[in-house]
Amino acid sequence: MAESIVSTLDSDGDGAISESELETFVTENGGTASDAEAMLESLDTDRDGSVSTDELSSQLESLHASMQGPPPPPPSDATSSTSTSSTTATAA
């Protein structure tokens, strides 16, 4: 998956996503230059100014692992959490 993403965004063919390539992608898809800068800071773990396939793959694996926790508990039933009043009929 990471190889496919890098090859799609790597417009100069150097095998990595540069800051300008990432900024182009982000801004063309509704983000800002600041968003791209924040993404680069997060993804560029060796701080060389670009995102390699290995860096992206590592981040995607971390994201996937963080999503593997137990499922959330089911929502509580609103009727069971409220008390109901009951009326009793008296025989006359």
Between 88 and 28, the more confident residue is: 28
Residue 63 counted as domain residue: yes
Between 75 and 81, the more confident residue is: 75
Residue 88 counted as domain residue: no
Q: Which pLDDT belongs to residue 82?
A: 52
Find out whether 14 and 53 touch, Cβ atoms under 8 Å.
no
Q: What is the mean pLDDT of the chain?
A: 88
Residue 72 counted as domain residue: no
pLDDT band at residue 83, thresholds of 50, 70 and 90? low
pLDDT exceeds cutoff 90 at 25? yes
Q: Is 85 exposed, middle or buried (0-12, 13-18, 19+ CB in 10 A)?
A: exposed
pLDDT digits 0-9 by tens, 30-68:
999 999 999 999 999 999 999 999 999 999 999 998 888
Residue 89 counted as domain residue: no
pLDDT band at residue 80, thresholds of 50, 70 and 90? low
- Tally of structural domains, the chain: 1
Residue 18 has phi, psi (to 5 degrees) of -80, 170
CATH number of the domain to which 35 belongs? 1.10.238.10
Q: Which pLDDT belongs to residue 86?
A: 52
